[in-house]
């Protein structure tokens, strides 16, 4: 009886001790995380306030609220790079440029809300060994092409006007299109004055036009004219931003600032765990926008944007 009582008592003591150790362990872990987070905060440096920038920051906050000490600074206000920061998240091209120029080389930088061409230009000019990566703002072309396949399965030819920057992806784009059964026609324009000759040539021979961003020939300044020209020649356009859809493109695939923020938060958390950044990449989360009026004009049935995004996601 005594032996049984002793074993029971000992057992209870061990359990209590284990529970206590577990609590201590959890507490220590939380403390370590808290210490790590607060001792080495994550600096979010934004090019501007408001709009897409604040949406990205809000997305980050929602994702990492409990696991990182976020310090938000804006280029427009008084700002300084924190020497103690474990990571700098630069939101926008100007913030990325400022961070790369002024931050301690030991602090890794994650550039978000940045076009790939801008990131490549900024990083190409640097020779330090800083850890730097990016979550591009661009949509990978394969998503646009896959969207054509889903929306317009009968289409056999697509085309694009490429500028001196987007031209480097020409063969990759053609290869992606070929894999999906599309003949992809491209014309090059190196100056904005050459855009419309190239555009006319492409539109004459293609059933759908794909807008691929380029600093000179395919950007917000030329978008309206591209849409007018395509609209007049009755060639639907697949864009790369939500604005394209609103303005008259048939559809677009793009990542919203909130989605960029959410994915940035995941990268921050991963960085806090592993102290490493993934290589520069296109966003994993994206949306599809469809212009119902254009669909109707083309005699196409109404499309479910969410379902299209899910199908695209599954296709990857």
Partner 1 sequence: MTDMVRERSLIPRNLPWAFVYLGILYARSLHAQTEDVAFLSEQDYFREIPQVFATSRLPQLPQDSSGANTVLDRAYIQSSGARNISELFIGVPGFQVGLSAGGRPVVAYHGFSGQVSQRMQVFVDGRSLYAPYLFGGVDWTSVTVPLHEIERIEIHRGSNSAAYGANAFLGVIHIYTRAAIQASGVALDIQQGQNGVSDKSVRWGSAKNGLQWRAVALQKQDQGLLGRADDSAANSLDVRADYQISSSKSLTLLSGASHGYYGIGNPGSVADPARKEQKQTAFAHLQYKQLVEDGQEWSVSASWTQDTGHDTYRIPLLSGDSLDMINNRKANRYTLEYQHYKAMKGALRASWGAAIHQDAVVAHELFSTTESQKNTAWRIYYNQEWRPLQNWTLNAGGLIEKDQFTPVQFAPRFSLNWKPVPDHVIKIGHSSAFRTPSLFEQRSDWRVRDENGDTLYIKYLSRGGLVPERIKATDLVYQGHLRPARLAVDARIFREELSRLITGELYPVQGGNGNAGVAYDLRNSESATHDGVEYQISWKPLSGSTLSWSDYTATTVSTKNALQKSTPRRSYGLVLTHKTNNGLSLYGAYARTRPMTWLGEATQAEQQTIFTASIQKTVRHEQAILRYSLTWRQPFGKLVEFRELQYLPQTLWLGLNIER
Residues in the site for partner 1, rule: CB under 8 A? 47, 51-52, 92-94, 113-115, 117-118, 121, 137, 165, 191-194, 196-197, 200-201, 213-216, 219-221, 223-225, 227-229, 231-233, 240-241, 243-244, 246-248, 254, 257, 291, 293-294, 296-297, 299
The Cα–Cα gap between 312 and 143 comes to 7
Which CB atom, from 113 or from 238, has the smaller least distance to partner 1? Answer: 113
Contacts of 267 (CB under 8 A, 6+ apart): 110, 133, 135, 277, 278
Q: State the nearest-atom distance from the C-beta of 259 to partner 1, in Å.
A: 13
Q: How far is the CB of 30 from partner 1 (least distance, A)?
A: 36
Helical axes 2-39 vs 257-274, angle rounded to 10°: 120
Q: Using an 8 Å Cβ cutoff, are 137 and 91 in contact?
A: no
How does 3-12 read in b/e, with b if 16+ C-beta sit within 10 Å?
eeeeeeeeee
Instruction: State in angstroms the smallest separation of the CB of 34 from partner 1.
Output: 33
CB of 229 to partner 1, least distance (A): 5
Cβ atoms within 10 A of the Cβ of 268, count?
23
Shortest separation between residue 223's beta carbon and partner 1, angstroms: 5
Rounded CA separation 294/297 (Å): 5
Residue where the block lists tokens 């759908």? 208
Is 37:68 a contact under the CB 8 Å cutoff?
yes
Q: Determine the 3-state secondary structure of 86 from DSSP.
A: coil
Minimum separation from the CB atom of position 126 to partner 1 (A): 15
Q: Quick one: which H or E segment has residue 125?
A: none
């Amino acid at each position: 009886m005594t032996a049984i009582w002793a074993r029971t008592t000992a057992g209870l003591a061990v359990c209590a001790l284990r529970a206590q150790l577990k609590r201590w362990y959890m507490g220590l872990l939380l403390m370590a995380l808290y210490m790590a987070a607060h001792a080495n905060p994550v600096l979010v440096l934004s090019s501007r306030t408001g709009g897409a920038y604040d949406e990205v920051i809000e997305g980050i906050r929602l994702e990492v609220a409990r696991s990182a000490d976020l310090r938000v600074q804006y280029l427009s206000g008084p700002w300084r790079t924190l020497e103690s920061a474990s990571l700098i998240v630069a939101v926008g091209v100007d913030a990325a440029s400022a961070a790369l120029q002024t931050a301690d080389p030991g602090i890794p930088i994650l550039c978000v809300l940045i076009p790939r061409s801008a990131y490549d230009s900024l990083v190409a000019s640097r020779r330090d060994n800083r850890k730097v990566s990016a979550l591009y703002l661009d949509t990978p072309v394969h998503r646009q092409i896959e969207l054509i396949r889903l929306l317009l399965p009968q289409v056999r030819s697509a085309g694009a006007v490429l500028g001196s920057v987007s031209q480097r992806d020409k063969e990759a784009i053609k290869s992606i299109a070929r894999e999906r059964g599309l003949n992809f026609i491209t014309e090059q324009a190196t100056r904005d004055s050459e855009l419309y000759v190239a555009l006319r040539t492409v539109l004459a021979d293609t059933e759908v036009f794909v807008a691929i961003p380029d600093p000179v020939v395919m950007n917000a300044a030329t978008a309206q004219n591209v849409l007018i020209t395509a609209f007049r020649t009755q060639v639907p356009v697949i864009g790369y931003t939500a604005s394209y859809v609103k303005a008259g493109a048939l559809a677009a695939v793009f990542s919203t600032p909130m989605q960029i923020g959410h994915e940035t938060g995941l990268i921050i958390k991963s960085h806090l765990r592993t102290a490493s950044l993934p290589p520069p990449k296109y966003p994993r989360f994206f949306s599809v926008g469809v212009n119902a009026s254009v669909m109707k004009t083309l005699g196409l049935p109404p499309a479910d944007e969410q379902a299209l995004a899910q199908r695209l996601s599954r296709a990857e």
